[in-house]
Structure 1
């Protein structure tokens, strides 16, 4: 069995951006992501909220069929830690964390988004070719997830859907 841990961070408001997202807007975006993941992650078809109480959301996430795997559903427990992070707990032990962090400026312009992933693979051997392949795939997936989430939040902010 192997555990695969990876993380990817990206600046949310690079100098090339025409719009500066505020921490409040980003937090609202993460709350929306919990309840409507399909707006942020292209492989998710829909999200069904089963329970929403006191900063803990239980949801069913429906994934589209991909080239290498059939469509499937995952029940997740999402815990909000205002205004910094959201943890997505899956029944198989997987933990995904979305974190808003300050950069050196300690201003909105320096905010970063980090996604951390912890996957468990009981049938994969440490150091095997499959293990190495999974690491590379998951690092790319982390990068893609951060970038697609920031892009989705920008579109929502431009449309006035995230407030100020």
Structure 2
């Protein structure tokens, strides 16, 4: 099956950022995103964890708006580095925490990748590609912003 893939990476602690996120804090943010995605977006009104063995989660997302009211997903966690969500539609979102070459705990990067089956993208493929690329980028930027807010509130670490 052909897929459309788009990915973005962000240097989390670029010069000028007052709130530095360590690799561990980024991972703690990712764990919150995996188990409580409604913290990161108003589009999700609720998340129910149907199963959670620590590294594999089955969850049901409930949406506050849009044509779909709920979505089942499987989440695989690779502790400290990656989590991957695959929905029943075949759409996949992968989020990864990266260490920079300096080796410093605050030389950190976060990435997001969308892998969407072409069959799920509708008749206007180019418009759908632009929309998914913009959404992936927005989710990455907003996700890091939310993690900074959570750190400031003492909810990470």
User: TM-score, normalised on structure 1?
Assistant: 0.88
Structure 1 residue 34 displacement after superposition: 1.1
What is aligned with 1:142?
A: 136
CA–CA distance in structure 1, aligned partners of residues 114 and 79 of structure 2? 20
What is aligned with 1:162?
A: 156
What is aligned with 1:99?
A: 96
Task: Name structure 2 gaps, 5 residues minimum.
Answer: none
Q: 1:98 to 1:124 in 2, by over 3 A?
A: closer
Structure 1 residue 101 displacement after superposition: 1.1
What is aligned with 1:118?
A: 115
Query: 1:85 touches 1:97 (CA, 8 Å); kept in 2?
Result: yes
Per-residue deviation, residues 50-86 of structure 1 (Å, max 9, x unmatched): 11114111100112214xxx24211111111011000
CA–CA distance in structure 1, aligned partners of residues 103 and 135 of structure 2? 28
CA–CA distance in structure 2, aligned partners of residues 124 and 39 of structure 1? 27
CA–CA distance in structure 1, aligned partners of residues 82 and 105 of structure 2? 16
Query: 1:12 touches 1:111 (CA, 8 Å); kept in 2?
Result: yes
Structure 1 residue 22 displacement after superposition: 0.9
3-state DSSP of counterpart to 2:106: helix
The CA RMSD over aligned residues, in Å, is: 1.8
CA–CA distance in structure 2, aligned partners of residues 73 and 30 of structure 1? 21
What is aligned with 2:3?
A: 3
3-state DSSP of counterpart to 1:108: coil
Per-residue deviation, residues 29-62 of structure 1 (Å, max 9, x unmatched): 1111111101112321111111111411110011
CA–CA distance in structure 2, aligned partners of residues 133 and 37 of structure 1? 26
Structure 1 residue 124 displacement after superposition: 5.6
For this pair of structures, how many residues does the alignment match?
157
Query: 2:10 touches 2:109 (CA, 8 Å); kept in 1?
Result: yes
